[in-house]
Amino acid sequence: MNNTFTPGVVPARLGTDELQQNFTDLHAPLSGHEAAVAADRCYFCHDAPCVTACPTDIDIPLFIRQISTGTPEAAATTIFDMNILGGMCARVCPTEDLCEQACVRELAEGKPVEIGRLQRFATDKLMNKGVMPFTRAQATGKKVAVVGAGPAGLSCAHRLAMLGHDVTVYDAMPKAGGLNEYGIAAYKSTGDFAAREVDWLCSIGGIEIKPGFALGNELKIDELVGDFAAVFLAVGLGGVNALGIAGDDKDGVADAVSFIQELRQASDLTTLPVGRNVVVIGGGMTAVDAAVQSKLLGADTVTIAYRRGRDAMSASRYEQDLAASHGVKLLFNVQPKAIHGNGAVAEIELEYTATENGKLTGTGEMIRVLADQVFRAIGQTLATEAGLKLDGRKLAITGAGRTSLAGVWAGGDCAAGGDDLTVTAVAEGRDAAMDIHATLMGSN
């Protein structure tokens, strides 16, 4: 993010106490009594639609029953068996669009079982005790490289280590965790939970994390293939798309990913500059996270400008409503045309859009919005393809993450076919690990 304080973009709009209050947990953890009451609402369906809706196939009725019978640690083990990052997923997973949307209670009453909060209750119980419920199998003597210490990479590494392989995890950043550490809104994952989760996950043994290694720079794919029995790529999407309009290079214009990353790593929120009038371009979760956090930092007006209609936004309706509840204005069917200002952004010019014959077009009608800070949240691109076959803008894969190069698998945001969710990345990392194991042990 550009740290040059342009007119109107200043730090400490709010005091320390107010900022601390603004960035507390979005949803407070359940107490034991609250968890018991919430668990009691579950019908424990035999053919539970919530399980089908979960990308990691957690046995949701089982873990809720275990909570209701007073064994939350057993419930946590049930969760972690399918989703080793179940603690973080309980905080950030869009349950309102997945398991809770499929809940029979939701269909019958419009109020689902609080699956996400119950999952957090169980996983926190076990993790707070520092207990790793799984042990390593007998050593296989096989060494596997995982490139990227985000959700997919960590999930793959843990499953491989549990199966007896030695895993070296490389990551370009100073800390492991990927988007869990750097890219999630601070009010969704408070404190140092992401770092503590990585430490807990690695406590199974057999995992070495090496920061400061980026694919294409310090790491070459052919060298990795020569040095390791298998390679799993979970490099995410490192490039940020530009707006491609006049004024995109003015002071006060930055990408939302960098803004969120800086906020996540800040030890003192009063040092973060924020505009008086903030505009975020985009319609996904990153756009919402950047917009809401701008408001929480003290911005007067925050607008999300999206080129299509509400229903086309990739951010869920829940996230849209969350933004609106914080005073964020959602402006639909507009696309950026130019950024105006003398050196620093002062206004953004937007064109209204319409869809004709399935194609988005500009109508020629313009609107200008005051802005001293503009964030780009219009998607990311693959930083390096490592010479592998692509499917569109992502790595092409078949089966459980197999790439075009023998001995190399991929998963998470960098691989084609996913939906860019943490929970999906975890599932892809886990499944790739099982396929890698079967291949290395000769059963595939």
pLDDT confidence of residue 418: 79
DSSP 9-33: -BS-SS-HHHHHHHTS-SSPPPPHH
Averaged pLDDT, 38-47: 96
Averaged pLDDT, 245-262: 96
38 and 161 part of one domain = no
pLDDT in tens, 359-406: 999 999 999 999 999 999 999 999 888 899 999 999 999 999 999 999
Strand partners, 373: 278
165 and 201 part of one domain = yes
User: Which of 376, 397, 428 finishes a domain?
Assistant: 376
For residue 250, what are the CA distances in angstroms to 246, 290, 345, 406? 9, 19, 6, 45
Nearest to 127 by CA among 178, 69, 79: 79
170 and 51 part of one domain = no
Q: To 10 degrees, the CA torsion angle through 310, 311, 315, 321?
A: 60
pLDDT in tens, 395-408: 999 999 999 999 99
Strand partners, 253: 374
Give dist(CA 105, CA 89) in Å, integer: 21
Give dist(CA 264, CA 443) in Å, integer: 43
Q: Is 17 inside a domain boundary?
A: no
pLDDT confidence of residue 384: 86
Phi/psi at 165 (nearest 5 deg)?
Answer: -90, 155
Strand partners, 146: 169, 232
Averaged pLDDT, 203-209: 98
Rg of the Cα atoms in the chain: 22
Please report, as a single letter, which amino acid is at residue 384. Answer: T
Question: Strands 143-147 and 230-233, how do they pair?
Answer: parallel
pLDDT in tens, 263-290: 999 999 999 999 999 999 999 999 999 9
342 and 249 part of one domain = yes
Residue 358's CB is within 10 A of a number of other CB atoms, namely: 5
Residue 70's CB is within 10 A of a number of other CB atoms, namely: 10
pLDDT confidence of residue 420: 84
Give dist(CA 312, CA 318) in Å, integer: 14
Answer for the pair 441, 70: CB distance below 8 angstroms, yes or no. no
Tell which phi-psi region holds residue 23, choosing left (phi > 0), alpha (psi between -120 and 50) or beta: alpha
Give dist(CA 335, CA 351) in Å, integer: 5
Where is average pLDDT lowest: 129-133, 180-184, 291-295, 414-418? Answer: 414-418
Structure tokens at 380: 């990311």
For the chain, give the percent of residues with pLDDT over 90: 92
Q: Is 9 inside a domain boundary?
A: no
Q: Give 206's pLDDT tier (boundaries 50, 70, 90).
A: very high
User: Which of 341, 376, 411 finishes a domain?
Assistant: 376
251 and 371 part of one domain = yes
Q: Is 5 inside a domain boundary?
A: no
333 and 213 part of one domain = no
Strand partners, 27: none
pLDDT in tens, 143-193: 999 999 999 999 999 999 999 999 999 999 999 999 999 999 999 999 999
Averaged pLDDT, 318-330: 97
pLDDT confidence of residue 444: 66
- Chain mean pLDDT for the chain: 95
> Is the pLDDT score of 54 beyond 80?
yes
pLDDT confidence of residue 240: 83
Answer for the pair 16, 285: CB distance below 8 angstroms, yes or no. no
359 and 321 part of one domain = yes
Residue 348's CB is within 10 A of a number of other CB atoms, namely: 27
- Residue 233, domain extent: 143-238+382-440
429 and 313 part of one domain = no
Tell which phi-psi region holds residue 343, choosing left (phi > 0), alpha (psi between -120 and 50) or beta: left
Give dist(CA 13, CA 19) in Å, integer: 9
